[in-house]
Homo-oligomer: A and B are copies of this chain.
Amino acid sequence: MSRPSAEEGSKILQAARAGDRRALAKFLSWLEQSPLNQVFALAELYQPPQLAFRLGITGPPGAGKSTLVGRLIERFSQQSLKVGVIAVDPSSPFSQGAILGDRIRYSEHSLDPNVFIRSLGSRGSLGGLSHSAYLMARAFDACGFDLLLIETVGVGQTELDILHVADQVCVVLVPESGDSIQAMKAGLMEIADIFVVNKADRPGADGLAREIEASLQDGGGKKPKVFKCIANQGQGVDELARHILELRDQIRIQRETPVRLRHEAKALLRGEWERDLDSKLNVVVDINSFKALFS
């Protein structure tokens, strides 16, 4: 398999930094395909002139995360902010591949020069964010983006990785989620910096907002804000967008603490490991070739 060279990567990145959007698309693909030693040869990638504020947007399937992201993009773009989006889709062991349906609604922004959207199957076979998500987030820094929205589905413990790649996390819930919220709450409550009760015109919205507020009383430290939105009508989105920009101004982005770097390193090492795995496993056809793997 012929892989793109480091030199090629460096050239593409330069074009992407100069504002060439097709080059950026190409560079993100280069990042996915290249061995990590080549990626790290690009000094610009890990010493960017500025850092994009990374907002993780997570919550159960059907909470309206994609719609909300679409509305936020509009608001930020109107203020001439450069906004990137990484949309991470779940992949099931039975269906494989990314579910792309939801992505279609982003297409109205595809001509907006301030907006760049990338869909990413969570291709890591072991759950959690794939190493590509970490690398791509770095690329948005390097290309001078102001904001990066990272949309993930918050379903299992391994999905809580968003905590380690985002600077702040917005958890989107809907009144109907009921039991499924209960199940996820332990994890999601702890990682949220912002709560959005979406589809707030439906019954139970006020109750859910109160319930969240009440549960926040017990927590120490940070005090997340709770917003009510009707994303598909654009209601409540202005307030939310304003709050996000406030957070961005307040927060000192600390991306290189040992804890965060270790999480990133782990994801990247896992990516390398998984890349090698398939070819290793392909030779296993019987107990002898199986044992030979470990000798």
| A binding-site residues for B, Cβ under 8 Å | 36-37, 39-40, 46, 92-94, 126-128, 155-158, 160, 178-180, 183, 186-187, 190, 256, 258, 261-262, 264-266, 268-270, 273, 277, 280-281, 284-287, 290-291, 293-295
Contact = CB atoms under 8 A, between A and B. Distances in A.
Contacts of A178: 178-179
Contacts of A187: 92-94
Contact of A261 (B156, B160, B264, B290): B290
A159 to B, nearest CB: 8
A256 B160 contact: no
Contacts of A92: 157, 186-187
16 contacts: A36-B294, A92-B157, A92-B186, A93-B160, A94-B187, A94-B190, A126-B128, A126-B158, A126-B270, A155-B156, A178-B178, A179-B180, A180-B183, A265-B281, A265-B284, A269-B277
A37 B256 contact: no
The 10 A-B residue pairs with the shortest CB-CB distance in the complex, in nearest-first order: A179-B179, A156-B156, A126-B126, A36-B294, A127-B127, A261-B290, A262-B281, A127-B158, A40-B294, A262-B284
A interface majority secondary structure: helix
Given A158-B158, A261-B284, 20 more contacts: A37-B295, A39-B294, A40-B294, A92-B157, A92-B186, A92-B187, A94-B187, A94-B190, A126-B270, A127-B127, A156-B157, A156-B158, A178-B179, A179-B179, A183-B183, A256-B287, A265-B284, A266-B277, A269-B293, A273-B273
A47 to B, nearest CB: 8
Contacts of A264: 290
A187 B187 CA distance: 21
A286 B258 contact: yes
Contacts of A180: 179-180, 183
A265 B293 contact: yes
A91 B191 CA distance: 17
Contact of A46 (B160, B280, B287): B287
Given A180-B180, A261-B286, A294-B268, A93 B128 contact: no
A178 B46 CA distance: 47
A293 B127 CA distance: 22
